Amino acid sequence: MPEFILMLTRDDQTVPDARALYAELADSGVAHVGFKDVGLPEDELAALVRDIRGNGHTVHLEVVAESREATLTSARLAASLEPDYLLGGSLIEPVQEVIAGSEIRFFPYVGRVVGHPCQLRGSVSEIVEDVRQAEAAGVDGINLLAYRYSGDVPTLVNAVRGATELPVVCAGSVASEQQIHDLVGFGVWGFTIGAAVLDLRVVDAPSLRGQVDAVLRAAG
């Protein structure tokens, strides 16, 4: 079963009440919790990391910065916060240099990532080549914006899975039980959901707990 990474985010930003939402869901069965590099100041993100770690959960920081300098700033943020996983960002070697010596596992984006919220562009063959180059650079996994791709999603995910032995996380715009079932079938390592859970859109359930329960069932 793939890992469900609960993102305390909306519109590619960490939500202002992230700590309160996490406190509400800390005993829900979620083991992986994440946030974005934008939306809250560093001291509040550090407090959120302490909350997540205090419950024995795994911390994910996803980089959505677009420019080189902004991406490096976010990498330095990661080096300070020391999440378990650093997801996203389109730079590889410069980010690896920033986080060198840490135990952070790095899953960069592949393909051409544009806009905010991020969208994935490029042909399947171009994205697969990016995967191979990322693997050759020594990354720990791949962060694939599968449901933000402008082409055929199953073709893309299956091609990426077939091109690498690295774990693949599918991030962005997962918003239904059917998509989760599809990701299970694709054999991905994990997937992220943020706003669809926070806005009670995954299933017809009136609570955050009901949304999380449904996602965990679908993934299992």
Helices (H), 67-119: 68-81, 93-99
Average pLDDT, the chain: 96
Quick one: average pLDDT of 151-164? 97
Per-residue pLDDT at 59: 98
Could you tell me the sign of the dihedral formed by the alpha carbons of 145, 214, 26, 102, in that order? negative
Quick one: average pLDDT of 9-37? 97
pLDDT in tens, 97-107: 999 999 999 99
Kindly tell me the number of DSSP H helices and DSSP E strands found in the chain. 9, 12
Rounded distance between C-alpha atoms, residue 205 and residue 197, angstroms: 10
Per-residue pLDDT at 13: 96
89 touches 75 (CB < 8 A): yes
Task: Please report which confidence band the pLDDT of residue 67 belongs to, taking 50, 70 and 90 as the band edges.
Answer: very high
Per-residue pLDDT at 116: 83
Per-residue pLDDT at 184: 97
Look at residue 87 and tell me whether its pLDDT is greater than 90.
yes
Look at residue 66 and tell me whether its pLDDT is greater than 90.
no
Quick one: average pLDDT of 155-164? 98
Quick one: average pLDDT of 121-129? 97
Task: Map out the domains of the chain as residue ranges.
Answer: 3-219
**In terms of CATH architecture, what is 3-219?**
Alpha-Beta Barrel (3.20)
CB neighbours of 194 closer than 8 A, spacing ≥ 6? 6, 7, 8, 9, 10
Quick one: average pLDDT of 144-151? 95
Quick one: average pLDDT of 21-31? 97
SS3 state of residue 58:
strand
> Strand 190-193 and strand 168-170: pairing?
parallel
Look at residue 117 and tell me whether its pLDDT is greater than 90.
no
Statement: the pTM of the whole predicted model exceeds 0.85: yes
Task: Please report which confidence band the pLDDT of residue 45 belongs to, taking 50, 70 and 90 as the band edges.
Answer: very high
Quick one: average pLDDT of 117-133? 96
3-state helix, strand, coil in the chain (%, to 5): 45, 20, 35
